[in-house]
Amino acid sequence: KNEVEQSPQNLTAQEGEFITINCSYSVGISALHWLQQHPGGGIVSLFMLSSGKKKHGRLIATINIQEKHSSLHITASHPRDSAVYICAASGGYQKVTFGTGTKLQVIP
Amino acid sequence: DVKVTQSSRYLVKRTGEKVFLECVQDMDHENMFWYRQDPGLGLRLIYFSYDVKMKEKGDIPEGYSVSREKKERFSLILESASTNQTSMYLCASSSDSHSNQPQHFGDGTRLSIL
């Protein structure tokens, strides 16, 4: 069983829809990361959080430490949001465990 | 902005060849990492380095070695390439081993071993 589980694996949405991607982890963490990978490979860090909630533009990330669960929300989704979203749990000293990713496609 | 540059986006090599993948970062980061990414498996750590000439094995080091002679450059070496090393390889760097700083990734090298 993967230490970091994401759901769903694949997601197709209509432009404008509200999107939620979920991440559950079984390891002890000091921080939870959300990453975005566009076709072609490059990975960009979206959020790093250890408690509560963070917002950047249309993206919101939340974490519940007690339940070992995090969510990434995208409001008013747009085709340019189409990418793979990866959840990663870091346990200190740069030990990072990655989820397998959620492939999002937003259709115009 | 941090820039992590991988020397090739696409690379095709033959079984048995010695393959070098190069990675350079321009932000004086202490830590550098090599991952491979395969469908359904996510990113897996091959090796990392926390200082010049220092290296530590990750989760899947077999068949690979690394070199860090200068702080900005971290090389991944496939000593004798095999077809099961066909994958996407991603290099990353970060600034501080104790404070969970985000890792900054390169664009990846898609390596095919024929």
pLDDT digits (tens, 9 = 90+) for B35-93: 999 988 889 999 999 999 999 999 999 999 999 999 999 999 999 999 999 999 999 99
Chain A contact for B94, CB < 8 A?
yes
> What beta strand segments (E) does B1-114 contain?
4-6, 10-13, 19-25, 31-38, 42-51, 54-57, 64-70, 73-78, 87-94, 104-105, 109-113
CA distance A67 to B62: 36
Chain A contact for B90, CB < 8 A?
yes
Residue B83 DSSP SS3: helix
Query: In angstroms, what separates the C-alpha of A18 from chain B's closest C-alpha?
Result: 25
pLDDT digits (tens, 9 = 90+) for B12-22: 999 999 999 99
Q: Do B9 and A41 touch (CB under 8 A)?
A: yes
- Asked if pLDDT for residue A22 goes beyond 90, the answer is yes
Q: Do A94 and B31 touch (CB under 8 A)?
A: yes
Residue B56 DSSP SS3: strand
Q: Chain A residue closest to B32 (CA)?
A: A94
Best mutation target among A4, A43, A54, A84 (most B Cβ atoms within 10 Å) is: A43
Q: Do B94 and A94 touch (CB under 8 A)?
A: yes
Q: Which of B74, B58, B61, B79 has its CA nearest to residue B16? A: B79
B2: pLDDT confidence band, cut at 50, 70 and 90?
low
